[in-house]
Structure 1
């Protein structure tokens, strides 16, 4: 009877936890589409990057243990990535700076927990060197890409490349696929194709993403297994660099209050999610 009562009491907590993971997945999917945001970064800040990589790198061995936990996240990511693409296009057109500021606040609010997780196996001088090197490399790369102004015509081959960039933004946190596609003029047609479920976009994009995951996921997972501290601190450097690049500093002169409100809202949401995650994991 006592076991039954405990199970009954745990059901609401489990339901809330499941809903939370769906929400996290939706944010990851949304972040994968939002310009300048990396879905992999949000996987990291929500504490699910490692199990995601373990599942992707060895699905036959890990699906029984990892899939039940990640299923609500996968469902939410599908909703966020495909279901809100058209809605995202509207908000990005109507409130581009405020949308980005909300995600900047979200990532900034999760940095303390990210740094805490990176030090779970200790820190060395190499950890800080890796963080600084990754920060400088990604900041230089993203700044350079932003300075480019090359436009190309979308095609099957280029949508394969779009799928590669999407997968790369998941398995390599900080590498936002939109940051790579916008300078080439591919971001808008790709997102519009996703929003309208256009098979001429979905099929090559999905194929490119699948091939990328098969080829790179295991290598990235091995890197974290052998060099956890250095790799994780490098991610922190990537996250900070990618976040700095997308902050719309130019709009603060005319929209200071809305931008700060959205950024503060993102921080509050991130801290609340982190506290709930910690309490739910302990329970």
Structure 2
């Protein structure tokens, strides 16, 4: 570790806590994906490596990820309630802020996707994944089926929660809201209801055990194809949450949304610049 990195270690710890808080927020807030934000912040791959081989990678991966886990817990259980208020009170500007954040990080995603070169078919992977997510999320938005909240349905909720981390763009809120499971699941987590936490935890654990190794192996052998596919997922998931109607509803609302978009993009570029200066490779 360089002298500059030593000087920045406390700042890096705080920065990772903030990143974790955003990931926790993205996991619980409607339309946002914690997996997308973990990709954007450049910590998706180490998280997947830890989940796929927890015993082997514990000593090397857990210490630098501790602040991310701390921030994630704070964001998921604490700050989410505050930002949920803003999403309920000012839904469109809040979502536009997140859209700006994600959009501003796309250049860094493409940089990371090209780290090991651009394999043949990478952009085909990007387009195919984008189309699949458009079709999946579009179908869920049009569905009107509701499922009774019980042990089995909370197992499914845990599956969706883990999937939103393993598969960036798969916001568990987007998957659960059309089924009427989002509110009872989040309320149960917020109130530490073990009738929700136990089946949800089991579903999430089984999903991680079954899918994490496969996803990590995909990155090891097809890095460019996999990462470009994720970028396609990120783009499609972001487009799906754009509040198009609010831009034409009123001039004031349009201006506010544009300001929030610009602020999000600028914040993302600043975060990327800061991250490139203090990140420990």
TM-score (norm 2): 0.94
Match of 2:264 in 1: 266
User: Is 2:271 the partner of 1:276?
Assistant: no
RMSD: 1.6
Cα distance between partner residues in 2 of 1:60 and 1:30: 28
In the alignment, the residues of structure 2 paired with residue 94 and residue 12 of structure 1 have an alpha-carbon distance, to the nearest angstrom, of 41
From 117, 141, 160, the counterpart of 2:136: 141
Q: How far apart in 2 are the matches of 1:282 and 1:218?
A: 24
User: Structure 1 unaligned runs (5+)?
Assistant: 1-5
* Aligned counterpart in structure 1 of residue 41 of structure 2, from 34, 42, 46: 46
**Runs in 1 of length 4+ with deviation above 6 angstroms?**
none
Instruction: Kindly indicate whether the alpha-carbon contact (under 8 Å) linking 2:97 and 2:261 is maintained by their aligned counterparts in 1.
Output: yes
Which of 218, 223, 231 is the aligned partner of 1:228? Answer: 223
Task: Determine helix, strand or coil for the equivalent of 1:223.
Answer: helix
Residues 58-117 of structure 1, C-alpha deviations (whole Å, 9 max, x = no match): 000001001111110011011111123432432222111122111111110100000000
Written as runs of structure 1 = structure 2, the 5 A alignment for 1:1-283 is 13-253=8-248, 254=250, 255-281=253-279
In structure 2, stretches of 5+ residues that fail to align are none
Contact in 1 for aligned 2:144/2:179 (Cα 8 Å): yes
Task: Give the superposition deviation at 1:202.
Answer: 1.7
Which range moves more in the overlay, 82-91 or 222-231? 82-91
Separation in 1 of the partners of 2:265 and 2:184? 31
Cα distance in 2 for partners of 1:90, 1:270 equals 23
The alignment covers a number of residue pairs equal to 277
Using the alignment, how far apart are the partners of 1:198 and 1:99 within structure 2? 28
Per the normalisation by structure 1, the TM-score is 0.94
Q: Deviations over 1:136-193 (max 9, x none)?
A: 1111111111111112221111111111101001011111111110100111121222
8 Å contact from structure 1 (residues 85, 192) kept in 2 = no
Aligned in 2, Cα 1:54/1:85: closer, same or farther, shift over 3 Å?
A: same
